[in-house]
Amino acid sequence: MASRIVILDGATLNPGDNPWTAIEQLGDVTLHASSKPAEIVDRLWDADVAITNKARLTAEILGQLPNLKFITVSATGHDCVDSVAAAKQGIPVANVPTYGTPSVAQFTFALLLELCHQVALHDEAVHAGEWQRCGSFSFWKTPQIELLGLTLGVIGFGRIGQKVARIGSAFGMQILAASRHRQNAPDDIPFAWATPDEIAAQADVVTLHCSLNENSRGLINREFLSRMKPSAFILNTSRGPLVDEAALAEALNADQLAGAAVDVASVEPITDDNPLLTARNCLITPHMAWSSLAARRRMMQVTADNIRNFQASTPSNIVNGKTL
């Protein structure tokens, strides 16, 4: 009997350019572009396999799904699923751990370089006629910042954090890294271990690449920000709740640090009252660092592999210790 596979929120993984073919070959697929919380139980009632990107599968919801056998999250972060509750019900939960590493690292530097050079601002100035009127072959409206010799503090030193460190090192930056897990340290990156507090005090650029959990929630708070250099930048392409957004907005508006760039927010889509929307020198993008077609194709393939391996009783990328 074919597996009954339900995709709860497929619109972001495949907005029309990333076919579901690899997954459709594995069972009877029902696709939903998005799912409201009140719709999830009905949609998964007779499903064997659930695919979710951001649709939340809480303990309460899972408790109403006695037929569900496997969950695969089409993302690296899997906090949208109560993995402990799933394990208690005997449901393995898988994720896609490596699909977005190159894209997220690249996007991190797109944000950093925009803070350093304000390319969009200068493009707008030229199109508004300022170059034509300035009387010189060159002008700039903001200080231009070179990365060579600056210190890059990477909080979270997994695959993405290490990729960011490699790029930073190629720019000639000095690398500090903080991680709860210091085993398997890379030997191809010149870096030094540091605590988050040491990074706050020493780094010219702080970039977040750690997972969201109860230990990391609110990691970037007023105390952390107060330790940072007034010339420093902070970047977040990881998870919005890692940052106390009100504290960051206050620090930016008080010139306690030079700028911030975030691709994530504490609530997504971002709400109208988010304090970062009116903060000074704060770039905000709509959680898109992961979204290159190349990355989404990898995500599609690994999601299909997770289902195929589960069907073959050789589950892969399990995050809740429940192998079968």
Domains and CATH numbers, the chain: 3-99+293-311 (3.40.50.720), 101-284 (3.40.50.720)
Give the catalytic positions in this structure.
239, 268, 287
Residue 15 token pair:
């907005």
Q: Which residues pair with 176 in a beta bridge?
A: 153, 192
Q: Measure the N-to-C terminal CA separation of the chain; round to a whole number of Å.
A: 19
What residues contact residue 255 under an 8 Å CB cut-off, 6+ apart?
230, 280
Contact criterion met (CB below 8 Å) for 191 and 205: no
Pairing, β 259-262 against β 282-284: parallel
CA–CA–CA angle 273, 52, 303 (5° rounding):
130
Residue 231 token pair:
């010339």
At residue 181, the pLDDT reads 86
At residue 1, the pLDDT reads 66
Across the chain, which has 324 residues, the per-10-residue mean pLDDT values are: 93 97 98 98 98 97 97 93 96 95 98 98 98 97 98 97 98 97 88 98 98 93 98 98 98 98 97 98 98 98 98 96 66
Q: Which of 22, 28, 25 is nearest to 5 (CA)?
A: 28
Q: What is the pTM of this model?
A: 0.92
Pairing, β 49-52 against β 3-7: parallel
At residue 323, the pLDDT reads 58
> Is the backbone peptide bond immediately before 269 cis, with ω within 30 degrees of 0?
yes
Over the range 58-96, which residues count as b (16 or more CB within 10 Å of their CB) and which as e? eeebbeebeebbbbbbbbbbbbbbbbebbbeeebbbbbb
At residue 183, the pLDDT reads 80
DSSP 3-state of 57: strand
Contact criterion met (CB below 8 Å) for 2 and 27: yes
Contact criterion met (CB below 8 Å) for 46 and 66: no
